[in-house]
Amino acid sequence: MKIITKLLEFRGMARRFFQKYQLIIEPVFRFVISYLAFHTINTALAYNTKVASPVIELALAAVGAFLPPVVLILMCALLAILQVYSASPILAALVVVIFAVLYCFIARFSGQYGYAVVAVPILFVFKMPYLIPLLLGMIATPMAIFPTVSGVIIYFVFKVIQEAATRQDITSLDATLALYIDVVNSLFKHKEMFITAAIFAVVILVMWLVRRMRFEFVFEITIVLGAIINILGFLLANLQMDINVGTGSMILGTVVSMLLVFVAQFFRVVLDYTSVEHVQFEDDDYYYYVKAVPKIDVAMLQKNVTTFSDDEEEPEEELTAAEQEEEDFDFAEHSDEIPEEEELTEDEE
């Protein structure tokens, strides 16, 4: 019990720290992520030494730190295309077309989980792509399947491009068709791509379904279940389809990812409830500059199942209707309620 108390204290400290330095920590965090992304791309596709300089990477990361995820994804895509272009304009054109198709059919639906499109290929390099489905299974909706699958496809596209770039004839126009056919063939030869995408999709979907149920330790069970599905899926694929996924590194990667998700889940309350909002508004008498600090609710961490029987009456605190409404008001939490019959017109100001 002592360890748990210590951990809870530590979490409280982390939360206060985040609240205090949020304005600094967030950009720094995004800077590190952006730098990691650009550096990985430059290492994996090191065809243009000019672009691959640390100065440019740092400058790009500095820009990426202050811009929304969409721009970061776009910058990553442009950098990758530029690198491939230095090796072979033909391959670069092919990458552009594949990106366009991917965007039209899948990546368009990424929404707020767009980071996954970049995170999956990068984590593949570190042999840890399992982290993304396990994490998104805990926090996201099934819509997160789209960016995750896009990320998997992008990783394998670049893997094939890397292989193709070692060929001799990649710059001659005469060999364009042969090169193209070769790239497509080897892309479809990578069965791991389809299997990985499918397993990740199943993991996210199942975790989302289980997470919404109501029983004790539901979050912990969901994470373990996601990891088990992942491991079993890849083991089964290894046996049945004769594909090449290193079993040892897969299991190790999944277990480490699972542990990281456990840590993330424990600290989730820090991230979810630390976002201090600074808002400005006015009325007839004053200008208001409000710093709104969310109150923490430890009960949010764990779903508790309580059963009420009919003959027990719960004493309830009496609140006036207006106060009750103010107390209850939370857009996200209460959105699944049935709305009252109301006219929603623009003139209701």
Partner 1 sequence: MVNMRKVRLMTKLAIYEKTEGKEDIKLGKYFRRDYVRLKILHNIVAVTIGYFLVLAMVIAYQMEYLIREAVNLDYIGMGKTILGAYIIVVTVYVMAAMVGYGIYYDYSRKKLAKYFRMLRLLRSMYQEEEGQLGLEEEKE
Tell me if 69 sits within 8 A of 114, measured CB to CB. Answer: yes
Nearer to partner 1, 35 or 156 (CB): 156
Interface mask toward partner 1 for 26-65; x: CB under 8 A: ----------------------------------------
* Residue position matching structure tokens 């049935």: 338
Q: Given the rule CB under 8 A, which of 81-89, 93-101, 160-168, 227-235 is the region that contacts partner 1? A: 93-101
CA dihedral 7, 9, 11, 13 (to 10 degrees): -140
Q: Does 297 bind partner 1 (CB under 8 A)?
A: no
Q: Given the rule CB under 8 A, which of 45-53, 132-140, 254-262, 286-294 is the region that contacts partner 1? A: 286-294
Nearer to partner 1, 11 or 211 (CB): 211
DSSP output for 116-155: HHHHHHHHHHTT-TTHHHHHHHHHS-GGGHHHHHHHHHHH
**Out of 23, 24, 299, 344, which residue is the one contacting partner 1 (CB under 8 A)?**
344
Total residues binding partner 1 (CB under 8 A): 37
Q: Given the rule CB under 8 A, which of 97-105, 210-218, 231-239, 261-269 is the region that contacts partner 1? A: 97-105
- Cβ-proximal residues to 75 (8 Å cutoff; 6+ apart), any chain: 34, 38, 60, 63, 64
Beta carbon of residue 73, minimum distance to partner 1 (angstroms, whole number): 17
**Out of 1, 290, 299, 305, which residue is the one contacting partner 1 (CB under 8 A)?**
290
User: Which H or E element spans position 281?
Assistant: strand 277-282
β-strand partners of 292: 277
- Cβ-proximal residues to 99 (8 Å cutoff; 6+ apart), any chain: 77, 81, 154
Residue 74: how many CB atoms within 10 A of its CB? 12
Tell me if 91 sits within 8 A of 161, measured CB to CB. Answer: yes
Q: Does 320 bind partner 1 (CB under 8 A)?
A: no
Q: Given the rule CB under 8 A, which of 6-14, 113-121, 178-186, 231-239 is the region that contacts partner 1? A: 178-186
Beta carbon of residue 261, minimum distance to partner 1 (angstroms, whole number): 25
Helices 191-211 and 218-241, packing angle to 10 deg: 160
Give the N- to C-terminal CA distance of the chain in Å, as an integer.
53
β-strand partners of 281: 288
- CA 148 vs. chain centroid, Å, equals 8
Residue 67, SS3? coil
**Out of 100, 241, 263, 271, which residue is the one contacting partner 1 (CB under 8 A)?**
100
Beta carbon of residue 243, minimum distance to partner 1 (angstroms, whole number): 23
Tell me if 303 sits within 8 A of 214, measured CB to CB. Answer: yes
Q: Does 105 bind partner 1 (CB under 8 A)?
A: yes
Q: Does 181 bind partner 1 (CB under 8 A)?
A: yes
- The residue among 261, 263, 194, 257 whose CA lies nearest residue 230 is 257
Nearer to partner 1, 313 or 348 (CB): 348
Residues from 321 through 340 that contact partner 1 (CB under 8 A): 322, 325-326, 329, 331-332, 334-337, 339-340
**Out of 74, 116, 279, 297, which residue is the one contacting partner 1 (CB under 8 A)?**
279
* Residues contributing to the site for partner 1 (CB under 8 A): 97, 100-101, 103-105, 108, 177, 180-181, 184, 277, 279-281, 283, 286, 288, 290, 292, 322, 325-326, 329, 331-332, 334-337, 339-340, 342, 344, 346, 348-349
